[in-house]
């Protein structure tokens, strides 16, 4: 594994084919006989369990296989929740899996959950250390600074050696998004001028509500982008995560709302403004959180880069909804 673009290579270039899959209907005794007959690969950490259609449905650690009773079926002792890398994953995605799940190997599967090969952690160790020594400066620049700047609208390699005019052309469109959302927010606020004049306390907490909306939208957006790196955004996936975001953001909104409500009551002892601001926080948290999920998903589905465009768009829409 050498070269500057190794991290973006397809994981299929590095999978091992010497793995043993076991049918779920076999007993422990039958599985062990199968393994003895067919042999095992160079490095065996886990045995992967498949159904009659050869689709991955579980994983069986070696220790559990060797210590189980011989008459038990594989599906009775297998671990049903198995983390697998989609076939379109990159080397960088695989490294994230190893860092996140702390497993020693992962199966690589196609869209039908059929195993295409195995990736184990030993494959990367020496190669990555060698590449790190050779390209340490480039790697730090690429994977630290790029990640930060991409979230706010551009890649650092686009502006690193750019002239002031070129840098302006790259950065201004995304700032224009913020300016536009700010103007829209000002116009919307102006529609409630008389209400604000009667209850000045609402103005005091504008920045707080706005900041909470932006914060939770960025949190949701970051989680969504990381998830989309290794997951295919199907309708089922979207509905599941949509429901999860609603519940999570509602709990976050209620928590923040109670704190702010209590502070207003102690400070000004005004029930109506306290309730208005508290309810606004809950609504804003939910809407902003959903925007953080929806915007990257739409961009990913339309083949646009969610890391580049999601940040400015999500923040702008979160500000307007607030």
| Class of 6-124 in CATH | alpha beta
- pLDDT for 152 equals 45
What fold characterizes domain 171-321? Answer: Tetracycline Repressor; domain 2 (1.10.357)
For residue 247, give every residue at least 6 positions away whose Cβ sits within 8 Å of its Cβ, in sequence order, or none.
none
Q: How would residue 272 be classed by pLDDT, with cut points 50, 70 and 90? A: confident
Residue (of 301, 249, 254) closest to 279 by Cα position? 254
Highest mean pLDDT among 115-119, 130-134, 195-199: 115-119
Domain residue ranges in the chain: 6-124, 171-321
Same fold, 6-124 and 171-321: no
Residue (of 272, 273, 211, 279) closest to 250 by Cα position? 279
Q: How would residue 91 be classed by pLDDT, with cut points 50, 70 and 90? A: confident
Per-residue CA distances from 286 to 184, 247, 280, 295 (Å):
21, 8, 10, 14
Residue-wise pLDDT tens digits, 293-317: 888 788 777 766 555 555 666 666 6
Q: How would residue 263 be classed by pLDDT, with cut points 50, 70 and 90? A: confident
Supply the DSSP symbol for 58: E
- The DSSP code sequence of 39-55 is ---SS-SEEEEE-TT-B
């Amino acid at each position: 594994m050498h070269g500057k673009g190794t991290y973006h290579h397809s994981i299929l270039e590095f999978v091992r084919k010497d793995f043993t899959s076991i049918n779920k209907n076999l007993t422990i005794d039958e599985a062990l006989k199968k393994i003895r007959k067919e042999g095992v690969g160079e490095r065996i950490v886990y045995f992967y369990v498949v159904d009659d259609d050869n689709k991955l449905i579980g994983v069986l650690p070696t220790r559990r296989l060797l210590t189980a009773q011989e008459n038990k079926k594989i599906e009775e002792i297998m671990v049903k929740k198995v983390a697998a890398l989609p076939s379109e994953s990159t080397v960088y995605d695989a490294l994230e899996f190893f860092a996140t799940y702390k497993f020693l190997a992962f199966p690589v599967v196609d869209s039908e959950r059929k195993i295409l090969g195995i990736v184990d952690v030993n494959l990367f160790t020496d190669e990555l250390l060698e590449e790190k020594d050779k390209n340490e400066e480039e790697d730090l620049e690429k994977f630290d600074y790029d990640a930060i700047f991409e979230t706010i609208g551009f890649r650092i390699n686009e502006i690193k050696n750019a002239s002031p005019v070129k840098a302006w052309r790259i950065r201004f469109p995304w700032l224009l998004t913020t300016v536009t959302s700010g103007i829209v927010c000002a116009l919307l606020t102006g529609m409630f001028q008389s209400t604000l004049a009667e209850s000045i306390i609402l103005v005091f907490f504008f920045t707080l509500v706005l900041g909470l909306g932006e914060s939770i939208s960025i949190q949701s957006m970051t989680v969504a982008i990381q998830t989309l790196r290794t997951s295919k955004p199907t309708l089922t996936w979207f509905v599941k995560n949509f429901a999860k975001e609603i519940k999570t953001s509602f709990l976050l909104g209620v928590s923040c709302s109670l704190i702010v409500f209590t502070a207003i009551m102690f400070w000004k002892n005004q029930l109506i403004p306290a309730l208005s601001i508290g309810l606004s926080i809950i609504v804003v948290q939910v809407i902003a959180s959903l925007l953080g999920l929806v915007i990257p998903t739409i961009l990913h589905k339309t083949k646009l880069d969610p890391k580049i465009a999601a940040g400015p768009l999500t923040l702008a829409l979160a500000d307007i909804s607030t």
